[in-house]
Structure 1
Amino acid sequence: MLVSNNSYVTPQFFILNGIPGLERVHVWISLPFCTMYIISLVGNLGLVYLIHREESLHRPMYFFLAMLSLIDLFTCTTTLPNALCIFWFNLKEINFNVCLVQMFFVHGFTGVESGVLMLMALDRYVAICYPLRYAAILTNPIIAKAGLATFLRGMLLMIPFPILAKHLPFCQSNIISHTYCDHMSVVKLSCASIKVNVIYGLMVALLLGVFDICCISISYTMILQAVVSLSSADARQKAFSTCTAHRSAIIITIVPALFTFFTHRFGGHTIPPSLHIIVANLYLLLPPTLNPIVYGIKTKQIRDSVINLLHGGKGASVQDN
């Protein structure tokens, strides 16, 4: 430990303890984690390449999907290689500043992912409620500005996390019971009050999570109203089916995220630490693993583009509004 001039105690490194209580099965736990990581790399890189290559997919819905795939890739790559080093090689030390950088990117990318899911909900709202004006409303400049604003919002709000954590005294322990540097896991090691950290964390959760969920809910309420007003049952089914993959992506992302958030702050000793850590890892792994699969199965245009690509075709132009 290093003591600075302002009496703060700064550890040179933290010890990431993996999953406490399950050390003997770390290697076995790593197998599904590694498999999911490989699937996420192949699936998301393949999806981004497909959207880039196929002209029929150069449309707002798929541009947002490409953003989601890239963010998913960055999110799981921020934590999984480090976790696998713990499981396989028992490399548990992480430099203090590297830990803070990891904390920033983990929370930053998850915040951006939440915003992209909101943008995708708004995209489906425009496509279903204003189909004739879809291309005029969601132009490429608008998509680029919305994506940039979402990225900056998610990242800028996370800057105070490592700054606040860096100025805490860590005079008790430097052992983190986790596979990566999560904000609450780090600050709970401090021997000073973390009230400011907790309050700011809740504020960010409200500004990002609650706001995005409200926007998604409002979008889907309006989508339901528009779909119900359609005269044909086939038209209603076709219109609402374009949201199936997005609804699945929301469930895959939000359920483990809410579990992780509330158990970290209000779970106390009622949730076994090992279960919390496993779910926290799945929270970062499930969306990158399942989103490409869900969109590949549920979206006809992507399936057709994959078939065309495998057969050396150029892809067919398909309308899906």
Structure 2
Amino acid sequence: MTAMSAPGAPLRVGTRASALAVAQTSAIAAHLGPYELVTITSEGDRSSAPLASLGGTGVFVSALRDALRADQVDVIVHSMKDLPTGPAEGIVLAAVPVRADARDALATRDGVTLAGLPTGARVGTGSPRRRAQLLAARPDLDVVGIRGNVDTRLGRLFDADEDRRVDGLVLAAAGLERLGRLGEASELLDLAIWPTAPAQGALALEVRADAPAALRARVAAVDDASTHLAAAAERGVLARLEAGCSAPIAAHATVSARSREGAAITLTATVFAPDGRSELTVVETGADPLEVADRVAAALLERGAAALAPLGSAR
């Protein structure tokens, strides 16, 4: 008998142990009825090495999925941009709740904007996509690699060690907002000129493929159809390009109101050269998220995306 099949038992909700993961998981779990939070430490949380050297964003996911398969939890919650694009054996995506702010945020020590940073300012990010965008906007910047939880990264703005101190950081606005720290952003970067990672700001709730129907229905109740479609289209570009965390790729989709013909999905995707000196952007509209993603990815490849950026990375 699983926890869900026991009458009146709370739902066991698995999450990474970081403050951000706990905050975003607790917020969505509150809509699932009685629950018990189960924190799990992933390889990505234990190491400060670059994600690409650890095997990609999937390092944040595998420990949670192992706990789900072992029936230690009933549902797991991820930042959707951390999910590998391939299928997970014995696990299904049960819900994608309403998306939070998909934009990136710039945090600086003195509250200045990206344009106002002095020549040669040190800006921290662990994302190849953000690095390329920073260099495209400001080739004079010194972009330094940085990882860690939000508190750790924000602390680098005021580090007593001058060699570790940075003048600015680029982070996900959704993460700052979920921690109640959005006020520390000096600038929210417009998606029209600064597109972000596929599914940024969205959460993914996974359950076992053999989960009871009652459990699946309980989790599916928090699904948002428009967010689900948009995230599927964005992540479809990654899957089609076989791109991992080392590829500087941005994608953002919008979904119109549904009609008799279904929803209209407008998908924009950009592949950046790692040094920010060039980029390719494609925009397509369609009703099926995977079909429109396939057209976008095909157009990017036809225009030379594979020569511009490292594709075919391990996912």
TM norm structure 2 = 0.26
Q: Tell which structure's C-alpha radius of gyration is larger.
A: 1
Structure with larger RCO (C-alpha < 8 A, sep 6+): 1
Return the structure number with greater strand share: 2
State TM-score, norm by structure 1.
Answer: 0.26
Structure that is richer in helix per residue: 1
